[in-house]
């Protein structure tokens, strides 16, 4: 890909999504979380309201320029340096893709904080795949690992996931991200199990640190440790993403 694109990146080989073209319109790093494990570093811009960072035409112009070359892709993915649903015009980009390049599948990676909002669900309804996160099963661990903006609680995430399941017609892969000593103790895993039994995602994906985390606390879990967690969870459709043998 030529280096002069500002809002799209890749295509990259993604562990979960295959060949993925990324869309990133967020100034680094804009989020309503400041997760310990974030691969984009600490959160510089704490956002609490949906914002327009850039005109959507600038993003769709780049997409048009690249996609008109008919690249081979498994997904076009909203991700990058922050929380993608904090962009007001996400729907305009999804509609552009579906109207002009319907052969490509669209994925959204989100922290799930805004999924209670039906207006947002209407905006992202035409995605093929949504990958929300759930990194804690207790409020104490939620505050520790996700370091949310004031006023955000674990209950918002769980209610948002239920709202998404009730309304979204595409696939949902729920990611659980584990850090050693932070959210991997048996009591938390059993609490995860209780929450997960009330949800019905197409897949539950267990992940752990693969690149440099924002904060040097906790640590990565090995493949064997994630397998042990999956056995404790004892639920269908679990997939382990991080296959490190350390």
Which one among 17, 21, 31, 136 touches ligand SF4, defined by CB under 6 A? Answer: 31
- CA angle, 230 as apex, 228 and 235 as ends, to 5°? 145
Residue at token pair 């996931």: 161
Which one among 17, 35, 97, 114 touches ligand SF4, defined by CB under 6 A? Answer: 35
Give the tokens for residue 80. 């990058």
**Is residue 77 a contact residue for ligand SF4 (CB under 6 A)?**
no
**Is residue 82 a contact residue for ligand SF4 (CB under 6 A)?**
yes
CB of 246 to ligand SF4, least distance (A): 22
Name which of residues 149 to 178 contact ligand SF4 (CB under 6 A): none
CB of 116 to ligand SF4, least distance (A): 16
Bond into 11 cis (ω within 30): yes
**Is residue 34 a contact residue for ligand SF4 (CB under 6 A)?**
yes
CB of 138 to ligand SF4, least distance (A): 18
Residue at token pair 């804009």: 30
CB of 146 to ligand SF4, least distance (A): 6
Helix (H, G, I), strand (E, B) or coil at 141: helix
Which one among 78, 83, 94, 192 touches ligand SF4, defined by CB under 6 A? Answer: 83
Contacts with ligand SF4, 86-125, as mask; x by CB under 6 A: -------------------------x--------------
Number of residues in contact with ligand SF4 under rule CB under 6 A: 10
The Cα 45–Cα 27 span in angstroms is 8
Which one among 38, 86, 94, 209 touches ligand SF4, defined by CB under 6 A? Answer: 38
**Is residue 43 a contact residue for ligand SF4 (CB under 6 A)?**
yes
Angstrom CA distances, 10 to 13, 189, 221, stand at 8, 35, 27
**Is residue 40 a contact residue for ligand SF4 (CB under 6 A)?**
yes
β-pairing, 203-208 vs 171-178, is parallel
List, as one string, the DSSP characters of 87-133: BTTHHHHHHHHHHH-TTS-EEEEE-STTTT-HHHHHHTTT-SEEEEB
The Cα 194–Cα 95 span in angstroms is 37
Enumerate binding residues for ligand SF4 (CB under 6 A).
31, 33-35, 38, 40, 43, 82-83, 111
């Amino acid at each position: 890909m030529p280096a002069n694109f500002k809002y799209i990146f890749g295509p990259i080989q993604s562990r979960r999504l295959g060949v993925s073209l990324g869309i990133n319109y967020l100034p680094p790093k804009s989020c309503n979380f400041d997760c310990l494990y974030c691969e984009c570093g600490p959160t510089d811009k704490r956002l609490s309201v949906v914002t327009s960072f850039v005109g959507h035409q600038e993003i769709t112009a780049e997409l048009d320029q690249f996609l008109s070359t008919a690249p081979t892709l498994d997904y076009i993915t909203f991700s990058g340096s922050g929380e993608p649903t904090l962009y007001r015009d996400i729907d305009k980009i999804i509609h552009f893709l579906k109207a002009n390049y319907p052969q490509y599948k669209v994925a959204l990676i989100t922290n799930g904080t805004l999924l209670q909002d039906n207006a947002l669900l209407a905006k992202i309804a035409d995605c093929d795949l949504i990958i929300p996160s759930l990194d804690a099963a207790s409020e104490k661990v939620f505050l520790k690992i996700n370091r949310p903006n004031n006023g955000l609680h674990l209950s918002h995430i769980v209610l948002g996931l239920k709202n998404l399941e009730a309304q979204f017609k595409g696939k949902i892969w729920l990611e659980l991200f584990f850090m050693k000593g932070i959210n991997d103790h048996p009591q938390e895993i059993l609490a995860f199990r209780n929450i997960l039994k009330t949800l019905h995602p197409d897949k539950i994906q267990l992940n752990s640190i693969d690149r440099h985390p924002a904060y040097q606390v906790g640590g990565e879990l090995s493949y064997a440790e994630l397998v042990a967690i999956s056995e404790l969870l004892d639920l269908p459709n679990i997939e382990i993403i991080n296959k490190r043998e350390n």
